[in-house]
């Protein structure tokens, strides 16, 4: 199995969570037309319809097909369409061509969801521990796709020069820009990271193991849009000395001069395109949609650095991962200015935080057996770990040991940064 220590749950409570998660996915997709839900805007993104179907395929395949006697597939041809990357599950639609599938329609995919939902609910009381654990995994899997769905649809809408809004904008926040950042000294010496076996976790979060933390401090808050504009205005994107060599080539090849979705209008004002369309940048809110290259260059410009995964995780282990600006329901999502307070804040919510740690296995890691073993381990090369959670992360999905990961050039996810320093 791809997770460790599935938490024992009653069929009722599991069924209630199942219904809740599935309903949120549908609420998120509700504003989309059939066309909105079908088009693929880049190879890294998937159509919303594909997310809706793929998450259902996961339940159908690993629970209904494998653990429910007599279950017949909703449609024998659909696994080819909706398998993502599980080599063990056979041939599948090429990732880059997911957007070609205009049929089945969005309505047909909704019927598929309803069918799978009904079958799962019916089967639930009789499922034993292994399929229940897979169901749990499926729910966390679906939560990941909720975040991807929001990212991907925002990317698609951003390609449209009409700048359509998917949802109605919330009124702008009115807090003032936070003051100078403060440094919070981190733990020094031996410490433990990795999941501890209580509650659901993905296989890549474990096993729990010891690390050694050298003297360091973390910034008490995230870097803001206002600070990022200072970087831009200081020529940050034009000075090679701040940049990794690969990052500098990326900046030049792609003519990057601001975070993704930032657009400067004729009046000189910066706007950010989001799910609610193009809105003026909120200077006090955390910067978002930056690549690892940009995060590293910004840190270099300040003279500081990014946190390591272990530094971040040890610091976060005593904080409540259920707090912060995370996703609770459909609607406008955006980063929010920091509220009053002290100490490490914004550790969960607003944006995923780039760390300076590559996504490599924890000591003692072993991938799960079977198809679900392809879930994480095979991606452990070339990517960087991001910690925390973002405003597009379903609340409850993330935790201190959670390991999100992206390639250094990617920035369509809600990613920002927190500074760290050696002491």
Using CB under 8 A, which residues numbered 67 to 86 contact a copy of itself? 77, 80-81, 85
Q: Is there binding between residue 247 and a copy of itself (CB under 8 A)?
A: yes
How far out from the chain centre does Cα 281 lie? Answer: 22
Q: Is there binding between residue 33 and a copy of itself (CB under 8 A)?
A: yes
Using CB under 8 A, which residues numbered 163 to 192 contact a copy of itself? 164, 190
Taking the complex as a whole, the smallest distance from the CB of residue 41 to a copy of itself amounts, in Å, to 6
Q: For a copy of itself, give the closer residue by CB, 136 or 313.
A: 313
Q: Rounded to 5 degrees, what are φ and ψ at 353?
A: -105, 120
Q: Is 283 within 8 Å of 224 (Cβ atoms)?
A: yes
CA distance 184 to 218: 5
Taking the complex as a whole, the smallest distance from the CB of residue 105 to a copy of itself amounts, in Å, to 6
Q: Is there binding between residue 156 and a copy of itself (CB under 8 A)?
A: yes
Q: Which of 1, 2, 14, 106 binds a copy of itself (CB under 8 A)?
A: 106
Interface region with a copy of itself, contact rule CB under 8 A, candidates 50-58, 87-95, 140-148, 324-332: 87-95
CA distance 371 to 362: 21
Tokens at residue 68, please? Answer: 């429910």
Q: Is there binding between residue 197 and a copy of itself (CB under 8 A)?
A: no
Taking the complex as a whole, the smallest distance from the CB of residue 133 to a copy of itself amounts, in Å, to 21
Q: Binding string, 202-241, against a copy of itself, x = CB under 8 A?
A: -------xxxx-x-x-----------------------xx
Q: Is there binding between residue 254 and a copy of itself (CB under 8 A)?
A: no
Q: Which of 71, 270, 301, 379 binds a copy of itself (CB under 8 A)?
A: 379
- The four Cα atoms 323, 329, 331, 332 give a dihedral, to 10 degrees, of 10
Q: Is there binding between residue 361 and a copy of itself (CB under 8 A)?
A: yes
Q: Is there binding between residue 320 and a copy of itself (CB under 8 A)?
A: no
Interface region with a copy of itself, contact rule CB under 8 A, candidates 52-60, 114-122, 195-203, 380-388: 380-388
Q: For a copy of itself, give the closer residue by CB, 300 or 346.
A: 300
Q: Is there binding between residue 246 and a copy of itself (CB under 8 A)?
A: yes
Q: Is there binding between residue 126 and a copy of itself (CB under 8 A)?
A: no
Q: Which of 9, 105, 144, 302 binds a copy of itself (CB under 8 A)?
A: 105
Q: Which of 36, 60, 136, 147 binds a copy of itself (CB under 8 A)?
A: 36
Give the total of residues touching a copy of itself (CB under 8 A): 67
Taking the complex as a whole, the smallest distance from the CB of residue 356 to a copy of itself amounts, in Å, to 6
Q: Per DSSP, what are the bridge partners of residue 280?
A: 271
Q: Is 157 within 8 Å of 163 (Cβ atoms)?
A: yes
CA distance 330 to 25: 9
How far the first Cα of the chain sits from its last, in Å, is: 41
Q: Which of 71, 144, 226, 248 binds a copy of itself (CB under 8 A)?
A: 248
Q: Is 207 within 8 Å of 196 (Cβ atoms)?
A: no
Q: Is there binding between residue 360 and a copy of itself (CB under 8 A)?
A: yes
CA distance 239 to 248: 9
Q: Binding string, 50-69, against a copy of itself, x = CB under 8 A?
A: --------------------
Taking the complex as a whole, the smallest distance from the CB of residue 251 to a copy of itself amounts, in Å, to 12
Q: Is there binding between residue 358 and a copy of itself (CB under 8 A)?
A: yes
Distances, alpha carbon 103 to alpha carbons 17, 80, 98, 109, 392, in Å: 30, 13, 11, 9, 28
Interface region with a copy of itself, contact rule CB under 8 A, candidates 15-23, 33-41, 135-143, 223-231: 33-41
Q: Which residues bind a copy of itself (CB under 8 A)?
A: 33-39, 41, 49, 77, 80-81, 85, 87-88, 93, 97, 99-106, 156-157, 159-162, 164, 190, 209-212, 214, 216, 240-241, 243-248, 292-293, 296, 305, 308, 356-358, 360-361, 363-364, 374, 378-382, 408, 422
């Amino acid at each position: 199995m791809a997770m460790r220590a599935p938490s024992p749950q009653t069929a009722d409570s599991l069924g209630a969570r199942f219904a809740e998660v599935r309903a949120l996915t549908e609420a998120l997709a509700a504003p989309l037309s059939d066309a909105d839900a079908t088009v693929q805007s880049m190879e890294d993104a998937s159509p919303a319809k594909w997310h809706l179907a793929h998450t259902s395929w996961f339940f159908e395949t690993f629970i209904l097909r494998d653990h429910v006697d007599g279950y017949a597939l909703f449609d024998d041809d659909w696994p080819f369409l909706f398998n993502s990357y599980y080599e063990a599950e056979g041939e599948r639609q090429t990732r880059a061509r997911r957007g070609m599938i205009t049929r089945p329609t969005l309505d047909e995919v909704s019927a598929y969801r309803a069918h799978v939902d009904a079958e799962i609910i019916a089967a639930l009381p009789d499922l034993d521990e292994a399929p229940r654990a897979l169901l749990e995994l499926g729910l966390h899997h679906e939560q990941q796709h909720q975040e991807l769905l929001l990212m991907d649809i925002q990317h698609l809408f951003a390609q449209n020069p009409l700048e359509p809004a998917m949802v109605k904008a919330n009124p702008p926040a009115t807090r003032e820009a936070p003051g100078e950042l403060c440094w919070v000294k981190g733990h020094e010496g031996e410490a433990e990271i990795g999941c501890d076996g209580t509650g659901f976790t993905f296989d890549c979060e474990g096993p729990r193991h010891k690390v050694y933390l050298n003297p360091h401090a973390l910034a008490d808050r995230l870097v803001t849009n206002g600070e990022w504009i200072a970087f831009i205005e200081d020529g940050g994107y034009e000075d090679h000395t701040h940049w990794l060599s690969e990052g500098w080539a990326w900046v030049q090849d792609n003519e990057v001069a601001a975070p993704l979705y930032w657009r400067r209008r004729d009046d000189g004002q910066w706007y950010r395109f989001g799910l609610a369309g193009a809105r003026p940048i909120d200077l006090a809110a955390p910067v978002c949609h930056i690549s690892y290259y940009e995060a590293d260059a910004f840190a270099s410009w300040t003279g500081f650095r990014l946190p390591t995964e272990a530094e971040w995780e040890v610091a976060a282990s005593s904080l409540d991962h259920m707090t912060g600006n995370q996703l609770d329901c459909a609607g406008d999502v955006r980063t929010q200015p920091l509220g009053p307070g002290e100490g490490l804040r914004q550790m969960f919510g607003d944006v995923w935080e780039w760390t300076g740690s590559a996504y490599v296995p924890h000591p003692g890691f072993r991938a799960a057996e079977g198809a679900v073993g392809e879930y994480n381990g095979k991606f452990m090369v070339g990517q960087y770990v991001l910690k925390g959670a973002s405003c597009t992360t379903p609340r409850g999905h993330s935790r201190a040991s959670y390991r999100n990961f992206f390639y250094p050039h990617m920035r369509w996810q809600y990613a920002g940064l927190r500074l760290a320093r050696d002491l």
